[in-house]
Amino acid sequence: MAGRHTPTRHLVRAHGGGVASLFGYSLITARRYFKVSAMAQLGAPVLYLLSLGIGLGSIVNARSGGQSLGTSYLSFLAPALIAATALQVAVGESTYPILFGGFKFQRIYFAMSATPLTAQQIAGGVLAWIATRAAFSATLYLAVVACFGGVRSVGALLCVPIATLGAMALAAPIAVYSATVETERGGFAAIFRFLVMPMFLFSGTFYPVSSLPGWGQALAWLSPLWHATELARWASLGSLQLRSGIGQVGTAALLGHLAFLTALTVAGVLLTGWRFRVRLSK
């Protein structure tokens, strides 16, 4: 009987408790750098909005850009920047921390797997924390945008869940890659340089995708950030019925955007759980 006794078994519930336990662990460890992280995430939107929303925006508005958009450049730019920031934060959390902290050097996930936590629970807790970080970043960005006068409707509050979904549509598949590689040979840098940055520039963040040539529009349609940006502008500006049509997304397009982001997220979550199980069983 003594050999069957597992004194730590009661610490993790069989259904969902493991995910909650790992999420709580991530929350506790994040308290050490919360102030630094919050200040950094407040500084970035202030600089972006001052330089682009206010600085560049004043030039765009002065040259009739605001008239063609139907709204100020700041309110056009803000929903896209909220979505882009959440995506960048989520991708950052789904790369180096998973491989180096979780599997390779600190091997935290292997230590966790020695407890009653399952690989799926560990993966679920990791992804839940990434989604929380993305949502927190989007919330801070929205608050700064509101201080700059870039919020024109209460629908802008929907930018936070939309940005989180868009972020996870890319971060969850990348987490699969992070849980697969044994040695990082510049792969993460390539993701930021050749995937995240071009996505940031060519997903309708700074100008409507319709101004791109046909091949550019086709590439934008494959971008999770473009789908999230379209949904965020629909939430923020669609109710204003702008004469430019910006933010006015039809029902079919709305469902298409949501389906695309949801499919990528669900596939990424399922594959991440599988890759964690394979990696932790070695």
pLDDT at 245 over 80: yes
Average pLDDT for 172-182? 96
In a domain, 17, yes or no: no
Residue at 218: amino acid letter: A
Query: What is the predicted pLDDT for the residue at 57?
Result: 77
What is the model's pLDDT at position 242? 85
Show the domain range for 192: 36-280
Q: Is residue 187 part of a domain?
A: yes
Residues 6+ apart with CB under 8 A from 1: none
Task: Provide the sign of the torsion angle of the four alpha carbons 223, 175, 163, 78, taken in this order.
Answer: negative
Tell me if 186 is assigned to some domain: yes
Residue 30 has pLDDT above 90, yes or no: no
Distances (CA, A) of 178 to 65, 96, 104, 183: 42, 8, 11, 10
The pLDDT of residue 7 is 42
pLDDT of residue 1 exceeding 60, the answer is: no
Over the stretch 106-161, which tens digit does the pLDDT of each residue have?
A: 899 999 999 888 999 999 999 999 999 999 999 999 999 999 888 989 999 999 99
Q: Binning pLDDT at 50, 70 and 90, where does residue 66 land? A: low
How many structural domains comprise the chain?
A: 1
Which residues, at least 6 apart from 278, have a Cβ–Cβ distance to it below 8 Å?
none
Does residue 256 carry a pLDDT above 70?
yes
Residue 94 has pLDDT above 80, yes or no: yes
pLDDT for the residue 65: 66
pLDDT, tens digit, for every residue of 104-121? 998 999 999 998 889 999
- Helices (H), ranges, the chain: 17-30, 34-48, 57-62, 65-69, 73-93, 96, 108-113, 119-147, 159-178, 187-191, 197-201, 214-221, 224-237, 251-280
In a domain, 22, yes or no: no
Indicate whether 6 pLDDT > 70: no
- Residue by residue, DSSP assigns 197-252 as HHHHHSSSSSS-GGGS-HHHHHHHHT-HHHHHHHHHHHHHHGGG--TT-TT---HH
Q: How far apart are the first and last CA of the chain?
A: 29
pLDDT for 168 equals 98
pTM: 0.88
pLDDT above 50 (res 39) = yes
Phi-psi label, residue 59: left if phi above 0, alpha if psi -120 to 50, beta otherwise: alpha
Q: Is the pLDDT of residue 63 over 90?
A: no
23 within some domain: no
Task: Report yes or no on 25 lying in a domain.
Answer: no
Q: By percentage, how much of the chain surpasses pLDDT 70? A: 93
Inside any domain, residue 27: no
Q: Is 30 contained in some domain?
A: no
